[in-house]
Structure 1
Amino acid sequence: MQLSPTSVSRLDQSFRWPGGARVGIIFNVAYEGWSEGQTPGLGPMGNPLRPGHVDVNALSWGLYGPTRGIWRALEIAERNAVPLSVMVNGVLAEKWPDTVKAIHAAKHEIVAHSYGMDVIPVYLDEAGQRENIKRTTALIADLTGETPRGWISPRGTGSLVHNALLAEAGYLHQGDCNDDDLPYRLNYGERSIVGVPLTMDVNDLPSAIRYGNNARSLVEQFDDLLEASLERETSPLFFDVTIHAHVYGRPAGAWTFDVMMQKAKAARGVWIGTRQQAAEHALNYWT
């Protein structure tokens, strides 16, 4: 099979989002789980344990996502009538099936997020990557009755051949890219896949955990980016608003998701949609 793209199709200045909007916003929830015996690499304490010890603090921190965080995020989205793109690990379909069913029942997009956060494609050989795609896809599809159309790898890191493998598996879009303001199409001979860049400017995990900002600073970042996009930029673009179910799925941060949704809905000339909708709209533009 063709492992490197034969060509790349990008959008031009004439592109507009549905309704003629120049600016698009996608609200994401990173709903994350880890393989049995694995724990998050980051925890609220910030200081890693010595090698060879299970960090039960980080483990418990991560488990907030399925017990409380995802439910709070879904309630906020319902209240604001905003569609979500929810990154879901395959292991969650095994261990917390009711949560994954609830995401699907609410008609949000489920984006495959590898089997577990510890299963990063670049660490696997080609056969291992194919098996991970197959396993993750099947777990979600068997539970919900709908095959996921989009994929984002843990930490947005696929591999040099992973996009081609996703195209081979029939995926419509992937988010393991950061190199454009708009979706673009990677062509692999007769197959193709749309890259929908995963922007990191409004993301709770680096803001709160890596940089130690308070929750209000995420709203300020959103405000500045929205203003710049509408009043200073002239080109078409989109950006993501992302929270993690185990980080700002908590009361201390969830309110920011609510506020940012309200601000996005009140802004004029803004389209709000899912990653799948963005990919499909871009494909219509090319055809």
Structure 2
Amino acid sequence: MHALDIHAGGTEALLPPGFRWRDQKRIAVFFRVSFEWWSDDHWPGIGPMGNPLKPGVPDLNAVGWAEYGHRRGIFKILDMFDRQSVKATINVSGIMAERYPEIVRQISEAGHDIVAHSYTMDQIPAYLTEEEEREVIERTAGIIEKSTGRRPQGWISPRSTPSLRTPRLLAEAGFAWHGDTLNDDLPYLVKFREGSIIAFPNNTEVNDLPLYMRHGNSPRVMVEIFQDWLESARQPEAGLVRMDPAIHAHVFGRQPGLSMYERIVEICRDSDDIWIGTRSEAVSDIRAAMGVE
């Protein structure tokens, strides 16, 4: 095992042969949304103007752009999912559950899977000591549990960037899964001395930040890439497939991005060979199939 493997010290196990998603589907789509925020002295590193201000100068353009997420974006997204009768996996920064518990409670009560997304977007595990990281994990989980009545089962770090110890600390804290890796197409089990955790890989192929914000593509490109991906998932792919188109409340919570995301939802709802679920639902089935409590 490579020295920089984030699961170093753990033992990996792949999904059992013949495993299928719910309803015996071979293809699963997990709709993923990020509802996030920064510390008071930080702001998004990517903004609509594309030219960051000098270091240390508050970028109120970027701050105002991000505020759209909790002022309008998340509500438009929730309305869309309700209209389409779809449950999503929603990454929530602890600070959002702390400052806007009524919104996070609304997300939970609508049946969506709330995922811990660190306390703030600038508290990236790779920058923290072990003590600091352990405190951030527990603080974030506790705040979300206080606002929803449920402890989150999943964790995704800002940027999906863990430290070398993050999966171990999450297993120790009782998390069922994490999404801090891009190293596989499918989830797999990792066993540590402190416990076990499912690594549930992310993708960046269908994600509004790189496609729209960083590279300036039309929102329609997201639909086109998803359609190409789905076509290849049906053929020549023959095994299990995981797809997770992702948006951010402050980015594609706006039109026309949201209308393109809804088009992806409609494509999936109109397909009888796709299971639409949440990551925690899938992880529950995976752990049962692998005999892990």
Could you say which TM-score interval applies, normalised by the shorter chain? over 0.9
| CA distance in 2 between partners of 1:230 and 1:284 (Å) | 27
User: Are the aligned partners of 2:16 and 2:289 in contact in 1 as well (CA < 8 Å)?
Assistant: no
Residue 171 of structure 2, aligned match among 167, 170, 173:
167
Is residue 2:174 matched to residue 1:179? no
User: Are the aligned partners of 1:202 and 1:240 in contact in 2 as well (CA < 8 Å)?
Assistant: yes
| CA distance in 1 between partners of 2:194 and 2:138 (Å) | 21
User: Are the aligned partners of 1:91 and 1:116 in contact in 2 as well (CA < 8 Å)?
Assistant: yes
Q: Are residues 123 and 190 of structure 1, via their aligned partners in 2, closer, same or farther at CA, if it must alter by over 3 Å?
A: closer
Q: Are residues 52 and 239 of structure 1, via their aligned partners in 2, closer, same or farther at CA, if it must alter by over 3 Å?
A: same
Q: Deviations over 1:31-54 (max 9, x none)?
A: 111111211011001111112211
User: Are the aligned partners of 2:37 and 2:120 in contact in 1 as well (CA < 8 Å)?
Assistant: yes
Residue 237 of structure 2, aligned match among 233, 236, 251:
233
Residue matched to 1:36: 40
In the TM superposition, residue 210 of structure 1 has moved relative to its aligned partner by: 1.0
| CA distance in 2 between partners of 1:161 and 1:180 (Å) | 19
Residue matched to 2:150: 146
Q: Deviations over 1:45-69 (max 9, x none)?
A: 1111112211100000011000000
Q: Deviations over 1:136-170 (max 9, x none)?
A: 01111111111101000000001100100000000
Q: Secondary structure at the match of 2:216?
A: coil
Q: Secondary structure at the match of 2:235?
A: helix
User: Are the aligned partners of 1:13 and 1:235 in contact in 2 as well (CA < 8 Å)?
Assistant: no
Residue matched to 1:268: 272
Residue matched to 2:228: 224
Worse-matched range after superposition: 170-179 or 262-271: 262-271
Worse-matched range after superposition: 5-14 or 245-254: 5-14
In the TM superposition, residue 99 of structure 1 has moved relative to its aligned partner by: 1.2
Residue matched to 1:117: 121
Q: Where does the alignment leave 5 or more consecutive residues of structure 1 unmatched?
A: none
Residue matched to 2:4: none
| CA distance in 2 between partners of 1:139 and 1:284 (Å) | 28
| CA distance in 2 between partners of 1:139 and 1:169 (Å) | 14
In the TM superposition, residue 133 of structure 1 has moved relative to its aligned partner by: 0.3
Residue 107 of structure 2, aligned match among 99, 103, 108:
103
Residue matched to 1:158: 162
Q: Where does the alignment leave 5 or more consecutive residues of structure 2 unmatched?
A: 1-6
Q: Secondary structure at the match of 1:232?
A: coil
User: Are the aligned partners of 1:26 and 1:84 in contact in 2 as well (CA < 8 Å)?
Assistant: yes
In the TM superposition, residue 6 of structure 1 has moved relative to its aligned partner by: 3.2
User: Are the aligned partners of 1:173 and 1:279 in contact in 2 as well (CA < 8 Å)?
Assistant: yes
Which amino acid in structure 1 is aligned with residue 179 of structure 2? G
User: Are the aligned partners of 1:76 and 1:258 in contact in 2 as well (CA < 8 Å)?
Assistant: yes
User: Are the aligned partners of 1:13 and 1:236 in contact in 2 as well (CA < 8 Å)?
Assistant: no
User: Are the aligned partners of 1:5 and 1:186 in contact in 2 as well (CA < 8 Å)?
Assistant: no
In the TM superposition, residue 11 of structure 1 has moved relative to its aligned partner by: 1.7
Residue matched to 1:253: 257
Q: Secondary structure at the match of 2:189?
A: strand
Residue matched to 1:93: 97
CA RMSD of aligned residues (A): 1.2
Calculate the TM-score normalised by the size of structure 2.
0.95
| CA distance in 1 between partners of 2:100 and 2:21 (Å) | 35
Q: Are residues 245 and 283 of structure 1, via their aligned partners in 2, closer, same or farther at CA, if it must alter by over 3 Å?
A: same
| CA distance in 2 between partners of 1:104 and 1:223 (Å) | 30
Which amino acid in structure 2 is aligned with residue 46 of structure 1? G
Residue matched to 1:10: 14
Which amino acid in structure 2 is aligned with residue 195 of structure 1? A
Seq. identity, %: 42
In the TM superposition, residue 5 of structure 1 has moved relative to its aligned partner by: 3.5
| CA distance in 1 between partners of 2:17 and 2:241 (Å) | 10
